[in-house]
């Protein structure tokens, strides 16, 4: 099973596994990643994927990919395919160890009959509202169903007739017979099977009753001989039920271990809420680059290696916490800083005419593709009399630490000449600055500084007007406007959306060499940030660029370059 190199630091789960291997309780480690195919995976799932596959790789065991397909109403083949793509994109493979809860429907049903035969399960006719009423509260015990005393023979007959389709949807359920007075609500005679007529993505219409997750989960773990069943903390209260089923059925009993889920600032992790964003068209789809889905992050340009590093860096704990989005963004910057070639782009073009440069003339400057990686080689950048600089690099009344262009100021064009701003041209009607007329120092080309020439503090990026490639650029920001959406329970989710999460620039300009960039290619636009060629909307020779993350540079830092 080919896997990426996994850096697995010490954690409490590793301590448990080490003890199990040392004691001989287990000879190998078998984990599983069990997503429900009712939506796309998000960054929270990435933590579970990296943990389960990472531990299996670290201990030279194996990790199963098992689809929890027990609710056909919400599950689709599209989601199954997307989950596989996401896990592979993160770098993990499961080889022949792909399973589905539906693989075990016959076995699970046989387990249900076994519980009935042991008088540990019964068919209940209570309506959903009545069942909620009978269940009790956290401070008050529940009441036993009036159908709890049915005989084994009657329960077995009713269960078989449920499977045969004799009863209407929702009219009856099979419940475990545990303890209606238990302080743990999960043990108050939980539902095992419900009647549900829906076409299943894999089994079609073969079944009209389906097992509940709490029943199917542990038994599937048992069938696959999972050694360590890793779940997030919300399943801690479900563990007694997990244990009860295995013990009542007298089958192999895996160990369930809970760890803290990933919570990220400015992010919603609920599949239901993400689905609402998609269905209500607040985003363009599950792969919208603002979404915390893995497909969205892939399209945004987040490298898979950066997400693995992030999951390693945040560690594995037992207490819920919220991780700042900047931790993830820093991992992305670190990865792209090493791998992304450099280029120059101008997002908000401002025309500059070099008045003392010959009309019709042009030349080329040579620049490294990556200043820290000479093996990437060099690129050529055309220069001509008319260029474009970024409008943000000019101010008429600049503050003290603004070292870019201004009236009667000098800057160096990155890899090019030093220029001096001589004149400002305005639109007669609006007064807006439409052009700068500058002069250049011909002795300073290619970064040269003649002896005795005063060094300028500012360096700005630019493109040649005659050669630049017009492109569309999308600038993405946080999807939500609040860091802790969980703390905003009084506000509708839609009110938390950041209205500035997307800015589209239709007339940006980049170096002409980027015309051959392909979907997924990432670049650092110097001084602007990291950008990737959009995989959905780009066409040959007409790339669309998504901003992955910004740079950390400030005005002062730019001035030092």
Parse the chain into domains and list their residue ranges.
12-259, 342-560
Rounded Cα distance, 156 and 270, in Å: 38
Which H, E and C letters describe 417-478, residue by residue? CEEEEEEEEECCCCCCEEEEEEEEEHHHHHHCCCCCCCCCCCEECEEECCCCEEEEEEEECC
Q: What residues have CB less than 8 Å from 454, skipping those under 6 apart? A: none
Question: How many CB atoms within 10 Å of residue 561?
Answer: 13
Q: Which of 3, 504, 451 is nearest to 289 (CA)?
A: 504
CA dihedral defined by 184, 189, 193, 196, rounded to 10 degrees? -90
The CATH number of the structural domain formed by 12-259 is: 3.40.50.620
Coil, helix or strand for 60?
Answer: coil
Predicted pLDDT of residue 474: 97
Rounded Cα distance, 449 and 427, in Å: 35
Identify whether 36 is a catalytic site residue.
Answer: yes
Per annotation, catalytic residue among 36, 154, 276, 329: 36
**CATH superfamily entry for domain 342-560:** Ribosomal Protein L25; Chain P (2.40.240.10)
Helix 43-58 with 77-89: angle, nearest 10 deg:
60
What's the predicted TM-score (pTM) here? 0.91
Distance of CA 54 to the CA centre of its chain: 18
Rounded Cα distance, 364 and 376, in Å: 19
Q: What residues have CB less than 8 Å from 184, skipping those under 6 apart? A: 237, 240, 241
Predicted pLDDT of residue 554: 38
Predicted pLDDT of residue 236: 96
Predicted pLDDT of residue 69: 96
Inter-CA distances, 292 with 262, 268, 281, 501, Å = 12, 8, 16, 13
Per annotation, catalytic residue among 261, 391, 437, 472: 261
Q: What parts of the chain have a pLDDT lower than 50?
A: 1, 553-561
Q: What residues have CB less than 8 Å from 457, skipping those under 6 apart? A: 403, 559
Cβ–Cβ < 8 Å for 208, 171: no
Q: Quick one: DSSP state of residue 351?
A: E
Inter-CA distances, 506 with 146, 472, 503, 509, Å = 68, 5, 10, 9
Per annotation, catalytic residue among 66, 194, 271, 414: 271
């Amino acid at each position: 099973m080919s896997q990426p190199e996994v850096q697995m630091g010490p954690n409490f789960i590793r301590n448990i596994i080490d003890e199990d291997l040392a004691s001989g309780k287990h000879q190998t480690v078998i984990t599983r990643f069990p997503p429900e195919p009712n939506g796309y995976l998000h960054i929270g799932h990435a933590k579970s994927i990296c943990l389960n596959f990472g531990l299996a790789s670290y201990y030279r065991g194996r990790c199963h990919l098992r689809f929890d397909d027990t609710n056909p109403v919400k599950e689709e083949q599209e989601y199954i395919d997307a989950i596989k793509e996401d896990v592979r994109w993160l770098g993990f493979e499961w080889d022949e160890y792909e399973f589905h809860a539906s693989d075990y429907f016959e076995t699970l049903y046989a387990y249900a009959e076994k519980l009935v035969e042991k008088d540990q399960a019964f068919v209940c006719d209570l309506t959903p509202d009545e069942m909620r009423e009978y269940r009790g509260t956290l401070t008050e015990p529940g009441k036993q169903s009036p159908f709890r005393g049915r005989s084994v023979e009657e329960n077995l007959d009713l269960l078989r007739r449920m499977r045969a389709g004799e009863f209407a949807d929702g009219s009856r359920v099979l419940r475990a017979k545990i303890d209606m007075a238990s302080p743990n609500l999960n043990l108050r005679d939980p539902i095992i099977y419900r009647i549900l007529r829906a076409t299943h993505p894999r089994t079609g219409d073969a079944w009209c009753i389906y097992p509940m997750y709490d029943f199917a989960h542990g038994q599937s773990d048992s069938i696959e001989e999972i050694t360590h069943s890793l779940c997030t903390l919300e399943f801690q209260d479900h563990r007694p039920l997990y244990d009860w089923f295995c013990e009542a059925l007298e089958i192999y009993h895996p160990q369930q271990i809970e760890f803290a889920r990933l919570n990220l600032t400015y992010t919603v992790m609920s599949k239901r809420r993400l689905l609402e964003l998609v269905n209500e068209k607040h985003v363009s789809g599950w792969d919208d680059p603002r979404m915390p889905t893995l497909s969205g992050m892939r399209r945004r340009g987040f490298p898979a290696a950066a997400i693995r590093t992030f999951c390693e860096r945040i560690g594995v704990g037992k207490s819920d916490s919220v991780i700042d989005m900047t931790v993830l963004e820093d991992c992305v910057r670190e990865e792209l800083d090493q791998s992304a070639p450099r280029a120059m782009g101008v997002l908000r073009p401002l025309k500059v005419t070099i008045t003392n440069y010959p009309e019709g003339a042009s030349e080329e400057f040579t620049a490294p593709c990556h200043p820290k990686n000479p093996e990437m080689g060099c690129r050529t950048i055309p220069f001509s009399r008319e260029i474009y600089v970024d409008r943000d690099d000019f101010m008429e009344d600049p503050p003290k630490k603004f070292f870019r262009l201004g009236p009667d100021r000098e800057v160096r064009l990155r890899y090019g000449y030093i220029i001096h701003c001589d004149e400002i041209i305005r639109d007669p009607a609006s007064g807006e600055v439409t052009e700068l007329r500058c002069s250049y120092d011909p002795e300073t080309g290619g970064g040269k500084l003649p002896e005795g020439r005063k060094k300028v503090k500012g360096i700005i990026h630019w493109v040649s007007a005659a050669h630049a490639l017009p492109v569309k650029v999308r600038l993405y920001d946080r999807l939500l406007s609040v860091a802790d959406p969980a703390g905003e329970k009084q506000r509708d989710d839609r009110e938390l959306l950041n209205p500035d999460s997307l800015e589209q620039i239709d007339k940006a300009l980049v170096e002409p060499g980027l015309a051959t960039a392909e979907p997924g290619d990432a670049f650092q636009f110097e001084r602007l940030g990291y950008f990737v060629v959009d995989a959905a909307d780009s066409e040959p020779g007409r790339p669309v660029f998504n901003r992955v993350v910004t740079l950390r540079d400030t005005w002062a830092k730019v001035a030092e370059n």
